[in-house]
A and B are shown apart, each in its own frame.
Chain A
Amino acid sequence: MATTASITLASSIMPNFGGYSKSMTLTEAGTSIDVKETTGYARRKLSATTKVDLVTMANLMVGEDTAGASHKIFIKNIGYNNVIDKSTGVKVFINSVEIGVLYGGDWLMMPIVASDAEDVEVQPLTDDTVVLEWVMFYKGA
């Protein structure tokens, strides 16, 4: 029961930058035990500039492990109706501290604490409709 994520970065900004790739297996904190819990893959459609919870930690199915804090979340801005608009961005927050903006097509993969109140929040920059896809992997309490 393994969960893996690999990244490949390529850029022509810096001459002779040969690119970069890395793969990781998602495990429980500080161990080689595969992570066992997931929210499942989900979509959320947003059409207003109101900040809303994307993931409410208190609602996780089996509670959350606040000690390990090695949970991972993936979020992707897929645009709307098969149109990916690079000018339509969505701010991502952890408990009201902004991480950054996912413009059309952008994605993130990051560790999160996942304790109560450390919710993942999102807020579109405009009221243009945009859809986020996301999945979280975590260790239950």
Chain B
Amino acid sequence: MATTAAMQLNSDLMTGVLSASASTTMMKAGTTADGLDQMRMGYNKVPTGTSFDLLNATAAGVDKATKVYICNESTDETYYVTIVIDAKTIGRLYGGDWMFIPWNQDDVTHDLEITATGGTNNITWICFHEGETLTTQDASLGASD
């Protein structure tokens, strides 16, 4: 059950071409043989102005090896989403930008939030993780509730 993330970076900003590559197999925290085994993904249209929790931190995610990919699929380069983790602004993803990070939900306030600017931004996201268990159905509710 392998999950891999590979990246290729090329730049001719300097007189010598800068090129770097990286590839990792996503493992559970601190292990060498046990790969991440759960994932979620989505595509959202994020209206401008309001802050939304894109991913909610949970106790099950504390000190795990969660990896998150987010891409701003907007085609207008002036549109952007501001990425915030636990009330700390990390940076902006403008139209066409992507990011890939480890995400340690080191407490349950460590939500990953986004706020759109410029117009409705279209966001693709994928979260590779471990440790999530399904919530038991609330027996007090009827089937039609």
Contact = CB atoms under 8 A, between A and B. Distances in A.
Interface in B73-93: 77-78, 80, 82-83, 85-86, 88-93
A25 B97 CA distance: 8
Interface string B103-135: 110100010000000000000101010000000
Interface string A69-102: 1111010100000000111010110110111111
B104 A7 contact: no
Contacts of A32: 77
Interface in A88-141: 89, 91-92, 94-95, 97-103, 105-114, 125, 133, 135, 137
29 contacts: A4-B10, A6-B7, A7-B100, A9-B5, A9-B69, A11-B128, A13-B128, A20-B124, A22-B98, A27-B77, A29-B94, A74-B20, A86-B27, A86-B31, A87-B32, A89-B30, A99-B103, A100-B102, A101-B65, A105-B22, A106-B24, A106-B67, A107-B7, A109-B7, A109-B101, A110-B91, A111-B99, A113-B90, A114-B91
B29 interface: yes
B90 A94 contact: yes
B42 to A, nearest CB: 12
Contacts of B66: 100
Contact of A101 (B5, B29, B93, B99): B29
- The B interface, classified by DSSP as helix, strand, loop or mixed, is strand
Contacts of B80: 29-30, 70
A70 B88 CA distance: 15
Contacts of B67: 100, 106
Interface of B: 1-14, 18, 20, 22-27, 29-32, 36-39, 63, 65-67, 69, 71, 77-78, 80, 82-83, 85-86, 88-94, 96-104, 106, 110, 124, 126, 128
Contacts, number: 200
B88 A94 contact: yes
A88 B32 CA distance: 10
Nearest to B72: A24
Contacts of B106: 98
Contact of A99 (B14, B27, B85): B85
Given A7-B69, A27-B77, A31-B77, A112 B91 contact: yes
Contacts of A69: 82, 89, 91-92
